[in-house]
Structure 1
Amino acid sequence: MTRLGTYLFRLFAAEAAALFGVALTILYLVQLLRIVEVGAVRDRGLGTLFWQTILGLPPLSIAFLYVCLAIGLARALRAMQGSRELHIIHVSQRLPVLLGTILSYAAVGTLLVWLLGHVIAPIAGRENNLIKAQAAADLVGRSLVPNRFAELGDGVTITVGGRGADGEITSFFADDRRDAETRRTYIADSAVITADELGYVLQLEDGTIQYRTADGQFSEISFERYDIALERLTGDEDTGDRRGDQTTYGLIARGLSAGEMPSEDQRHIAERTADGLRVLALCLFVAAISAFPSGRRREPILPVEITVLGAVLFERSVTSYAPVPGWAHELTGVVVLIVIAIAMLVYRLRLLAPLPREAHSR
């Protein structure tokens, strides 16, 4: 990379890092307040509290990262427009260096978001889920006092008849009233708290699950064995997919070993890939609207930050409503935005193309 390219790259990265640093600080504080408010760690210490807060940042930071990268690029180009540096680059015919640096910046940002989405966020999610599962196991273990009703959370009541020396529970009963539409009751002759590859579970033996709907209808299911995730009793309704969060490599390996990849895994991989491609799409879009100097002395009526956010909203709207089936649905919006940005770039470059010699002679 040339000295000019290095200077431009540092300029773009500095603007993006400043924005992302502010966003990351706000995200951390919001996560910390949320975890403290809900008591997610159940008195497991300040170290666990801060570590769980950090583990919750990667999934949230992905969305802010690609926006900050695009806005940082736009703000740097706007500053170059104001200082006439952008004019000098064009007059000295260094536009290829500028565009090449923007592509390098977009490529680094794309790889960074892919690293977060495909690897770091799933690993952090698994570790975070393990902490929650351990907290849930501790809470359930302390609440299982024989012949005494205990509240595990808002709307969950549990009681047991006795506890054996080996940890076996007799006469298990749990009433889950959190869902206003369906009330569930778990009854089992015996139960035991154990762990599997996904976390802590409560294994119920020889019992029934009773359902009662809002209109008074009743149904009952008998079982010889039923495993229920402890998080489901202590706070979360649906933990199956979250507890099994895996990296993209793990999803692909699981699909190859099974001979077929589930559609849900394909959607996860496509969604993570689309997050990285949004960096490329937004950077190309910003280059098309801001990498070319203008003779206007006034600032545009619409700030460039709002323009970038509008492009993000457009891309997400196309993704949400595009009639594309399967995993390709997750890539629809970002592909459309990339095509639009490239078309705008080509149009702007053709306007700057030198006239033929015949035209000059005339």
Structure 2
Amino acid sequence: MSVQSSRVPVGQLAPGQIIASRYTIEAAVGEGMSGVVYAARRSPEGDRVALKVIRQHLLGDPHFAPRFEREAKILKRLEGNHIVRVLDVVEDDGLLALVLEYVEGQSLEAVLRERLPEPNEAVEIMLQVCAALGAAHAGGFVHRDLKPANVIIQGAIDDGSGPMVSVVDFGLAKALDTEPSEGTSLTERNMILGTPEYMAPEQVRGEPVDRRCDIYAAGVMLFEMLTGRVPFSGRTPIASMTAHLTEPVPSARAARPDRGISPALDAVVMRALAKSPDDRYPTSRALAEALSAARDPHLVIAPQAIVDADALATGDTELELKAVVQTLPMVPAPAPPSKTLADPVPAAVARPGQPPRWVWVVVAVIFAALAVAVGAIVGAR
């Protein structure tokens, strides 16, 4: 299905205008590279939704619309406490739009214009971003444009209860890439995929990317929350992109010695920003574990609370992350760790299908008792 030129210019949808016969526009609430976001009411339910209307220059590719709709259908199955869900995809009179759940709050970009989070607050925000990344990566999606504008903060970050963090815009980047049978992609022809200040070196070089490019972007965001600036920048987008390739990874602690950034947290940021994907944290869960350890070096994750080692090693889902980082009891570490806090040692766990160690102890005791009994009987004879 091809999409024709819109008769309604994107960015000029008026309050009261009805889209796809059931979405009534209230007001524009945001704007980005890929589209304009409107608050809208859905009929007949009457609930508020966010309507992201895709920009016209993206609709010029005849392959984009069907590819976009296909990815949106997959995204509708992607769920997580920290992911803004896709509810529907609609086309109306040349407009193509995503219908998203409406999340009250402000973007992390807006938060950073007002104040910098304290280091522990920055870690809490990033732990929730890691939860969103874990759920998306397990579903086969790489964000590829993770940045403060795509992170929504609900609640005050310093009110004692902590913020609720949600990530938006998963999947759109994948729709911008074409499959071999569909010809040249939009990204190859006339646009750069990503935001220069948050692009991993492999993105800058145009190489294939995986979830580790999101780890890099998370490192950029963490550096920005800690210092008030991005680690690599330039006067032009090309200069910023070149800086990712050529400039050494800076130290957040050295950039802002007044912020109380611990050496452990500084080390976590630097590893996330490694030039080579192989040198970064391999998963968002690994990054979250390192952040958790860096936040309080005297605490470790209780090993007895982890019951599925194989799933933790391969899944990296939000559920597993919440179990590891957000809800597990924390106990005092018996001794200083043998490795750096930036590379914490995974807790020892029982593998699925294997009985706990105490079961083997009981079995051994029973066999020993039987051996003694048999020996006594033989001796009596």
TM-score under structure 2 length normalisation:
0.23
Rg bigger for which structure? 1
TM-score under structure 1 length normalisation:
0.23
Q: Which has the higher helix share?
A: 1
Which protein, 1 or 2, shows the higher relative CO under an 8 Å CA cutoff with sep ≥ 6?
1
